[in-house]
Amino acid sequence: MKRQSDEAGAAQFAATLAADEKIEPRDWIPEGYRQTLIRQMAQHAHSEVIGMQPEGNWITRAPTLQRKAILIAKVQDEAGHGLYLYSAAETLGTSRDELVDLLHKGKQKYSSIFNYPTLSWADMGAIGWLVDSAAIVNQIALQRTSYGPYARAMVRICKEESFHARQGYSIMMALSKGTDVQREMMQDAIDRWWWPSLMMFGPPDAESTNTAQSMEWKIKLYTNDELRQEFINQTVPQAHYLGATVPDPDLTFDEESGNWNIGAIDWDEFWAVVKGNGPLNRQRIAHKLKAWEENAWVREAASAYAAKRSRDRIEATA
Ligand code: BYC
């Protein structure tokens, strides 16, 4: 009997994917699909939350009140993105606490990009422009991912990321029109963030263990290399508009394909960072754990308040 319902479920799952419709939490799904989504969505949520640290580092040192207000809003948005994604992951039968615990124990990943230090104010421009634009290229595609709750979370996240990318480019524009020292600061930030931003898209297709299956399930609609190339094509002209260069002596433009072709990416560096040996991996998790422990009282107060509200409601209707 169970076997039959699994068969019917699997047929329904295949038909939904074939029709480019969304899979919803009530639907039968293969265990591998569930596990892949939990892995990717958790990693995505953790990236948003850990991603608050490099920029949070500059809130007290923003050069003007307006820039400070914008940066606070952006960092706060990232916390919100983490919440949407943890909530979407919960529809797969896992809890936010479980996922956060796996992050704290080093059993789930977050994006490699957030293990690099933010050394100057220009890094706020470089992160907004390069890192958030890379995130947008990846996430615009994810708006059409097959799992409904994930796709819908992406729609709102993409809107907010667009504001983030524009604020980053606005910082870079201001620096590009500034003094020689400001222009040097801008170029130095681009030199340090360019290659790590390209690595955000994941390993080259030939080494990507999950892409083939994820594309079959329509979780991913494009490969890592396809999205990376789209980002490069969009970003190189923006760098030139700033009067800046990207740190790649082998960069060439191919008239025929319309692609900017890049030199070799240092994949040894990428894997070192992914495996926990980037410049700041240990500090990022240590800082996260400290905040988690110091703020335990907030979680306790919120649960006590929620419990009281629901008791009051039950009593009022009794
Ligand atoms: N960093 O088979 P592959 C943001 C891992 S936050 C670390 O190609 P997949 C923002 C990968 O997990 C943006 N690990 O994997 C926030 C896999 O290992 P496991 C975050 C990486 O999943 C604040 C192995 O390498 N965005 O926007 O098919 C401020 C082989 O890779 C990375 C997302 O998370 C990496 N960069 O494709 C500013 C988007 N790349 O898990 C901005 C959602 C790969 O098998 N995620 N790995 O042990 C995705 O779209 C996909 O997961 C990826 C990787 C394209 C990233």
pLDDT digits (tens, 9 = 90+) for 192-247: 999 999 999 999 999 999 999 999 999 999 999 999 999 999 999 999 999 999 99
Contacts with 216 (C-beta within 8 Å, 6 or more apart), sequence order:
none
Instruction: Tell me the average pLDDT across 139-143.
Output: 97
pLDDT value, residue 1: 43
Closest protein CA for atom 32 of ligand 1: 202
Q: For a ligand 1 pocket test, name from 40, 160, 223 the mutation site with the most ligand atoms within 8 angstroms of its C-beta.
A: 40
HSE of 282, CA atoms in CB hemisphere, 13 A? 2
Q: Which is nearest to 208 in space by CA: 227, 228, 222, 223?
A: 223
Predicted confidence band at 155 (pLDDT cuts at 50, 70, 90)? Answer: very high
pLDDT value, residue 3: 53
Helix then strand count (H, E) for the chain reads 14, 2
How many Å lie between the centroid of ligand 1 and the Cα of residue 125? 22
> Residue 214: CB within 6 Å of ligand 1?
yes
Residues 30, 244: Cα–Cα separation, whole Å: 48
> Residue 123: CB within 6 Å of ligand 1?
no
What radius of gyration do the chain's Cα atoms show? 21
Q: For a ligand 1 pocket test, name from 52, 111, 138, 219 the mutation site with the most ligand atoms within 8 angstroms of its C-beta.
A: 111
> Residue 146: CB within 6 Å of ligand 1?
no
pLDDT value, residue 95: 96
Would the pLDDT of 65 be above 50?
Answer: yes
pLDDT value, residue 6: 87
Would the pLDDT of 2 be above 70?
Answer: no
How many Å lie between the centroid of ligand 1 and the Cα of residue 14? 25
**Ligand 1 atom, smallest distance to 52 CA:** 23
pLDDT value, residue 4: 55
> Residue 203: CB within 6 Å of ligand 1?
yes
**Ligand 1 atom, smallest distance to 48 CA:** 16
314: left (phi over 0), alpha (psi -120 to 50) or beta: alpha
> Residue 39: CB within 6 Å of ligand 1?
yes
Average pLDDT of the chain to the nearest whole number: 96
Contacts with 191 (C-beta within 8 Å, 6 or more apart), sequence order:
247
Would the pLDDT of 134 be above 70?
Answer: yes
Predicted confidence band at 36 (pLDDT cuts at 50, 70, 90)? Answer: very high
